[in-house]
Amino acid sequence: MTFQYGVDHLTASIALQIASGKIKGVLGNAALEKIKKSQRDVQQIVDDNRTVYGVNTGFGILANKPVSPEDTRLLQHKILQSHSVGVGNAIPEEIAKLMLITKVHALAQGFSGVQLVTLERIMWHIDNDVIPVVPEKGSVGASGDLAPLSHLFLPLIGLGEVFYKGKRQNISGVLQQNNLASIQLGPKEGLALINGTQFILAFAVKAVERMYNCLEAADIIGAMSLEALTGTKAPFDERLHQLRPYAGNRLVAQRLRLLLQHSDIMQSHMDCGRVQDPYSLRCMPQVHGASRNSWLHLNELTEIELNSVTDNPIIFSADDTISGGNFHGQPMALPLDYACFAAAEVGNISDRRCYLLLEGKWGLPMLLMKDVGLNSGFMIPQYTTAALVTENKTLCFPASADSIPTSLGQEDHVSMGSISGRKLNQVIDNLEWILAIELMSACQAIEFRRPLRSSELLEFAHEYVRKFAGFAEEDRIFANDINAIRSIIHDYSFVQNVDAFAREKGVVLGKGFENFNF
């Protein structure tokens, strides 16, 4: 299967499949024509000696400094050098590869004036997993993700480092191994490469995938906790949620109804006299659902950004160029911060269910172990969820609420969206651990309901977890269990296996809510 850069519609899912090698990105004839025309337009500007920002002028506060025609190529080489000021650890290789993919798609739309040979070299990096080393810090999320994009494209001019064949090495050696020379950038190319939101966007693409997985897992795990605590499914009644019809709420309520149907545990306490469950059980549709709505917003705007041109200036023709602000990261910074709060809240309510499981109420032993005193039981894993929830709260300060002027005031409002994207993925890291601890605790608690059984779907989920972590009769190093269970959340196998089993049984978890599918 192939994807035509600059022509086909890119989604987060397709971008990830290109990154994993499941789909190959190509340049079709339509894109080739647009690319060549745009490059000719830029060359015409240089030949006519017309002043266009970034083609024959300096950058930022130096926009009024003219550059001679003979120096226009050197100017582009220097911008990659001067803007490569990133610091900190290298971002994950998958994120850097997504940056390359999304940049090719933006440039191939034919408004940036880049050479075909430059795009072909970037595609060589993608297809051969020659992934540039990009430091994680240094972008303010406006004027493009200047620092990270500069590091991303240093290898084009024979500078910088790459990850190649499992090693971090200088690009010069890798080019020699592959009998390749560095690229000589043409007019405007350096600016086109580093102007854009691809750093923010790559983190958004990955967050869309990871947050979706966590939301799917949270519903399953929350249903297991509800069963263990002999909670009621009445608050998930479809009629109730038609009266407040948020799409996310309705979806979560539907999923919970399907996950809990035909449960012997649920039937066993129908007339127990308990009037209401705590909010962390009763309000899962409202809380998980609100986070689903946030995810939908992020996914929608990420898709718009994936198919946008975020370069500056934009070349419509040799006679029609506009220096605007499409590089500004604010349209992505705000939804990324919103999603950050939403992901943190899923962890917050999950921690509350962990706490409920330990209280020793409703027929469960205190701390989920029969012999406590000598044993601490499941007391201390909840300390970890408490720590992670608090850490997530500290990460919820919206980066987009701040702006520090740069370029001597020329760039006087910036988005800080690069920080928003990184923070969201940190929150999701913590969320995966929190959900793993709730899942471990819920599986332990359900076994105290034997011989009663839960629904087929939740019993399958329980048995799947038991392949990685068994029932605890006494204390052990629970970090090992937490790590094992987190791994099946992190690699998506927990959600995927439960969903596949449900489909085998003729159950579609989320039917009618296709907009929420990833």
**Would residue 83 show up in a list of annotated catalytic residues for this protein?**
yes
Catalytically annotated residue among 5, 53, 59, 164: 53
Catalytically annotated residue among 73, 257, 269, 282: 282
**Would residue 195 show up in a list of annotated catalytic residues for this protein?**
yes
Buried b / exposed e along 442-464 (16+ C-beta atoms within 10 A): bbbbbeebeebbbbbbbbbbbeb
**Would residue 282 show up in a list of annotated catalytic residues for this protein?**
yes
- CA-nearest of 135, 133, 136 to 168 is 133
CA distances from 505 to 455, 464, 501 (A): 12, 16, 6
Burial of 471 (0-12, 13-18, 19+ CB in 10 A): exposed
Q: Give the DSSP per-residue string, 227-282.
A: HHTT--SGGG-HHHHHSS--HHHHHHHHHHHHHHTT-HHHHHTTTS------HHHH
**Would residue 53 show up in a list of annotated catalytic residues for this protein?**
yes
Strands 87-90 and 131-132 come out as unpaired
**Would residue 338 show up in a list of annotated catalytic residues for this protein?**
no
CA distances from 48 to 84, 318, 373, 507 (A): 31, 10, 85, 66
Catalytically annotated residue among 203, 327, 338, 516: 327
Residues, the chain: 518
Distance (Å, rounded) from C-alpha 319 to C-alpha 324?
16
Asked if residue 372 lies in contact with residue 365, where contact means CB atoms within 8 angstroms, the answer is yes
Axis crossing angle, helix 330-358 with helix 198-228, rounded to the nearest 10: 20
Distance (Å, rounded) from C-alpha 147 to C-alpha 151?
6
Catalytically annotated residue among 33, 120, 168, 279: 279
Could you give phi then psi for residue 125, rounded to 5 degrees?
-60, -45
Q: Cite the beta strand spans of 14-134 per DSSP E.
A: 24-26, 87-90, 131-132
Residue 235 token pair: 């608050």
Distance (Å, rounded) from C-alpha 447 to C-alpha 466?
11
Catalytically annotated residue among 189, 227, 345, 411: 411
Burial of 269 (0-12, 13-18, 19+ CB in 10 A): middle
The residues pairing with 14 across neighbouring beta strands, listed in sequence order, are none
Active site residues: 53, 83, 195, 279, 282, 327, 411
